[in-house]
Structure 1
Amino acid sequence: MATAIAPALRALVPPEPELTPEAMIARAHAMIPTLRARQAQAEAAGRLLEETNRDFLGAGFYRIVQPRRFGGYEFGLPTYVRVMIEIARGCPSSGWVLALVSGHPIMLADFDERAQEEAYGDDGDYRCPSVGSPVPVKPEKDGFRVSGAWDYTSGCDISTHAMVSGLIPDGKGGMTARLMLVDRADYTIVDNWRMMGMQGTGSRQVVVKDVFVPGYRTAPMAMWLARGENAAHANPMYNGRKGSFFLIELGAVVVGTVKGALDLYEDICRTKTMRFPPKVFLYESHEFQQYFGDAQAKLDAAEALLLKVTEHYVEACSADPVTGGDFSEETDRRLFAAAQEACKMAWDALEIIFTTAGTSIGQRDSMLARIYRDASVQKTHFVQQRSRTAVNAARLHFGLSPLTPF
C-alpha cells in the first residue's frame, strides 16, 4: 500500500511565480550568442565563468526541476531537456555544468526530507554535483565520519553542496554505497582538470576531511532503484529510478553540442564557396546539400528520440506516484540504452559536419574544432559505453542479473 505524501513543513516561493516553461526555454535560446562569445574564455578558465553562473542564477535555470515547495519551478522534464539543449548549443561545457547541477534535485528527492530542507535553506538556492567512486567511511552514532577525495566533480566551483559517495558495512559482511550530502564549506577543490575537451566544466577533485555527515543526509547510491515509500513529493518525476535520468541529463548536452556545430556548419555553407568551378556557395552545391541534409536528419532524429525517452521516463515514474510502480530495472536500462542511441546519432551527425567543413576548421582557435574536442571527451564518459548497456538490458530481459552497475 502506498504511503501518503508527507505535507510540507514550510514552503518557499520561486523568484518569478508566474514564469512559464515557454519563457524559460526562450531565455535559454536567447543566451546562445553570449555563451558562444564566452566559449574560449571558459575553456581558458577551466570552469564555468562567474558571469555565466550569475546569468544562470538570474534566469532561474538552476530551479527548473527543483520542487516548487522549496522555491523551484518544478517544470516538467521535457522543459528541462529543451533548456539544456539550448544552453549546450551555445557552450557545451556550460551546458554540461548546468545540466548536472540543475538536474540533481531529482536525486536529492531520494534523501530524507530533513536533508532536503537543509539543502534548500531559506531561499531555495541549491546547486549540487554528485560523484561516484565511493570510498570507505567510518560509521558513528547517527551518521558517518567522512574523509576522501572524488574526481570529476563537474561544477564544484559554483555549487552550494556536493553529493560524495561512501562505502559502509551492510551488516552481511559486505559493503554498500551511499550518497552523502556535504555543504560547500566542508569540501576543498583540487585543480586537477586538464583535458583536451570539456575543459570549461571545471570537473575537478573535491576533498572532504574528517566531516561528520548525519545519517539522514545520506541516501542509497543505487541508480536503478525507485524512491520507494515515504516519498517527500507527490510529483512522480522525483520518485522513479535514476539510471536513465542520468542519460537524459547528458543526452541533452550532447544533442545541444551538435546543434551548435550544425549552426556553425550552416554559416560555413552560406558564406564559403566551392574550391572549383562553378564557384557557387556550398549551400548551392548538391554535394553539400546532401551533407547538410544528412547531418540535420540525424540530429533531428537524435533530439526526437531523446524527448521520447524523456516522455517514457515520466510515464514510467507515473505508474505509481509514490513507489514508481512497475518501473522495472529492465525498463530503466532500456531507456538508458535508447538515450545512448540518441547520443550516437548526434555524434554521427557531427562526424559529417567536421569531416566536410574544410581543413581550416581544424585550427586550434576554431569554435568547431573546440566542439569536436568537447564531443570526443563526452564519448569517454563511463555511462556512454553502449555495448555494456546493451548486454545488461538483454540479460535483464532474459531474467538474468546485470553484470555491471552501468
Structure 2
Amino acid sequence: MADTVLDRINAVADEIRAQAPHNEKLGRLSDTAARLLRETGAIRMLQPKKHGGLEVHPREFAETVMAIAALDGATGWVSGVVGVHPWEMAYADPRVQEEIWGEDQDTWIASPYAPMGIARPVDGGYVFNGRWQFSSGTDHCRWIFLGGLLGDADGKPVQPVETLHLILPRSDYEILDGTWDVVGLRGTGSKDVVVRDAFVPDHRVIPYSKVVDGTAAKEAGLTNPAYHLPFSAAFPLGITAAVIGICEGGLAHHAEYQRGRVSITGTQVRNDPHAMYALSEAAAEISASRTALLDNISRMYDLVAAGREVTFEQRAAGRRIQVQAAWRAVRALNEIFVRSGGNGLRMDNPLQRFWRDANNGLVHAIHQPGGVFQAAALTQLGIDPPQGPMRSMI
C-alpha cells in the first residue's frame, strides 16, 4: 500500500506522463492531470494537518515535485507553485482557512504574489484593484493569493511602500483566457487575472512583512519547524525543484534516445566516447543540483528546528545555492540537447518539450541571479547590502 505522496505518484506515473501532450495543447493542466495531483495528495503536502494536510518535511515536498516534473514539466511546475500556497495559508486567520478548506480539503489556491494591485483601506477591510500575470494552475484553483500595495484614501500607494498578501475567492477575480501563449511551460496555464473593486475583509489579508520576518508563524502559534522557514527559502523551493525535475526528465529521455541512435556517420552513439562523456557530465551536474537544493533546505529546516534564527547572510547564501542549482541543471540539459541530433527537435519527441520547459523555468524572477549573487557576495565580505531591491526575496 502506498505510504507517501511519492509512492502514489510513482503508481500513476504513466498516467501523468501521458497527459503531457494534452496539457501543452490545452495551455493548462488537463482535468485528468489535475485529478491525479488531487488524488495523490501532492498539493496537501505542506497543508496544516488540522485541514487534512500532511505537514511533510520540505525536503520530501521538493523530492516529490522533482519526481512529478520528471514525468511532465507543467504538472511538476503546478505542483511546486500551487503546492507551496498551503504553507502560507497556515499563517492566515482561522476564518479564511475554514472558508477555503472547511468543505473541501482539496481546494487549491493560486497566486501570484507580485504586488501589482492597490488595496485601499475601507471600514472592515480593503477595496482591491489590479491585474496580474503568471497565475500558474489557476483554472483548477478556487481561491487566490494576490500581492498588493497598501493604498491611501485616493488609491495611491502609501510611502514607505507596504506590501500585502490578499486572499480572494474565485468569485472576486477574473481569469483572462488567451493570455498564456508561450514557448515553454505551456501546460501550466499561467494566465492573467484581474480584480475590479473587490472588497477584501481584514481577516483575508496578511502583511508581507510579517511573513518575511517570521512574525506571522509565531502569531499563528505554529509549532512545526517547516512553517518557521524563511519565506525566501520556502517559496522558491517548489519552483526550483520543478526545474531540476524537468532536467532529470530531459536527461532520461536523452539517454533513452541515445541508446539506439545511429549518427549520420553510421556510428552507434553509445560507442561514441565523446557523446557518452557529455551524457555522464550532464548526469553528474543535474545530480549535483538536486543534492545542493535538498541539502540547502534541510540545513534551513535544522536551523529553525533548533530554535535558531536564520540570519540575512545565511538566507542570502541559501538563495545563491537555490538559484545556482537551477542554472546548473539547465546548462547541463542544454549541453546534451544540442548533442541529441536533429530528430530531438521534432515535436513528437518529448525531449524538446523538456528542453523548452526547463529554459523557461529559469525566466521566473526567483531564478534571476544578479541581485541574489551580489547580496550574497557582499554579506560574505562582511558588507551590508543596501536596502531595497537587493534585499528583495532574501
TM-score by length of 1: 0.88
Percentage of pairs with the same residue? 26
Deviations 1:162-219 (A, max 9, x none): 0012211599743311000111222211021110111111100112222211112111
Higher share in helix = 2
Q: Say whether 1:249 aligns with 2:273.
A: no
Q: Say whether 1:180 aligns with 2:166.
A: yes
Match of 1:7 in 2: none
Instruction: Indicate conservation of the 8 Å contact 1:110/1:227, yes or no.
Output: no
Task: Measure, in 1, the Cα distance between the counterparts of 2:70 and 2:282.
Answer: 15
Q: Say whether 1:384 aligns with 2:367.
A: yes
Q: Say whether 1:283 aligns with 2:283.
A: no
Instruction: Indicate conservation of the 8 Å contact 2:92/2:220, yes or no.
Output: no
Instruction: Indicate conservation of the 8 Å contact 2:119/2:151, yes or no.
Output: no
Q: 1:225 aligns with which of 194, 213, 217?
A: 213
The correspondence of residues 130-145 of structure 1 with structure 2, limited to 5 A, is: 130-131=111-112, 132-145=114-127
**Superposed structure 1 runs of 4+ greater than 6 Å apart:** none
Q: Say whether 1:353 aligns with 2:336.
A: yes
Task: Measure, in 2, the Cα distance between the counterparts of 1:200 and 1:257.
Answer: 13
SS at match of 2:46: coil
Match of 2:181 in 1: 194
Match of 1:367 in 2: 350
Instruction: Indicate conservation of the 8 Å contact 1:127/1:159, yes or no.
Output: yes
Match of 1:9 in 2: none
Q: 1:168 aligns with which of 142, 150, 164?
A: 150
Deviations 1:82-129 (A, max 9, x none): 110111001111111111111111121332233223222133223112
Q: 2:47 aligns with which of 44, 57, 66?
A: 66
- Structure 1 residue 308 displacement after superposition: 0.4
Task: Measure, in 2, the Cα distance between the counterparts of 1:398 and 1:115.
Answer: 42
- Structure 1: unaligned runs, 5 residues or longer: 1-17
The one-letter amino acid of 1:317's match is V
Cα distance change, pair 384–402 in 1 and its aligned pair in 2 (3 A): farther
Q: Say whether 1:32 aligns with 2:21.
A: no
Task: Measure, in 2, the Cα distance between the counterparts of 1:269 and 1:87.
Answer: 23
Task: Measure, in 2, the Cα distance between the counterparts of 1:402 and 1:386.
Answer: 17
Q: 2:138 aligns with which of 153, 156, 160?
A: 156
Instruction: Indicate conservation of the 8 Å contact 1:225/1:329, yes or no.
Output: no
- Structure 1 residue 294 displacement after superposition: 0.5
- Structure 1 residue 355 displacement after superposition: 1.1
Instruction: Indicate conservation of the 8 Å contact 2:80/2:237, yes or no.
Output: no
Task: Measure, in 2, the Cα distance between the counterparts of 1:291 and 1:351.
Answer: 11
Instruction: Indicate conservation of the 8 Å contact 2:115/2:163, yes or no.
Output: no
Instruction: Indicate conservation of the 8 Å contact 1:89/1:258, yes or no.
Output: yes
Q: Say whether 1:122 aligns with 2:103.
A: yes
Match of 2:250 in 1: 261
- Structure 2: unaligned runs, 5 residues or longer: none
Q: Say whether 1:205 aligns with 2:183.
A: no
The one-letter amino acid of 2:215's match is R
Match of 1:330 in 2: 313
Deviations 1:10-44 (A, max 9, x none): xxxxxxxx9633xx212223433323322221111
SS at match of 1:356: coil
Q: Say whether 1:300 aligns with 2:282.
A: no
Cα distance change, pair 180–215 in 1 and its aligned pair in 2 (3 A): same
Task: Measure, in 1, the Cα distance between the counterparts of 2:181 and 2:158.
Answer: 41
Instruction: Indicate conservation of the 8 Å contact 2:2/2:8, yes or no.
Output: no
SS at match of 1:189: strand
Task: Measure, in 2, the Cα distance between the counterparts of 1:186 and 1:196.
Answer: 30
Deviations 1:285-324 (A, max 9, x none): 322221111111001101111110120221233243xxxx
Task: Measure, in 2, the Cα distance between the counterparts of 1:208 and 1:51.
Answer: 29
Q: Say whether 1:57 aligns with 2:46.
A: no
Deviations 1:318-356 (A, max 9, x none): 243xxxx41223322221110111111211210121011
Match of 2:377 in 1: 394
| Worse overlay, 118-127 or 250-259 | 118-127
The one-letter amino acid of 2:123's match is K
Cα distance change, pair 26–173 in 1 and its aligned pair in 2 (3 A): closer
TM-score by length of 2: 0.91
- Structure 1 residue 394 displacement after superposition: 3.1
The two structures, once aligned, show a CA RMSD in angstroms of: 2.1
The one-letter amino acid of 2:10's match is H
Task: Measure, in 2, the Cα distance between the counterparts of 1:296 and 1:52.
Answer: 28
Task: Measure, in 2, the Cα distance between the counterparts of 1:57 and 1:75.
Answer: 16
Instruction: Indicate conservation of the 8 Å contact 2:83/2:238, yes or no.
Output: no
| Worse overlay, 104-113 or 287-296 | 104-113
Cα distance change, pair 19–233 in 1 and its aligned pair in 2 (3 A): farther
Aligned length, in residue pairs: 381
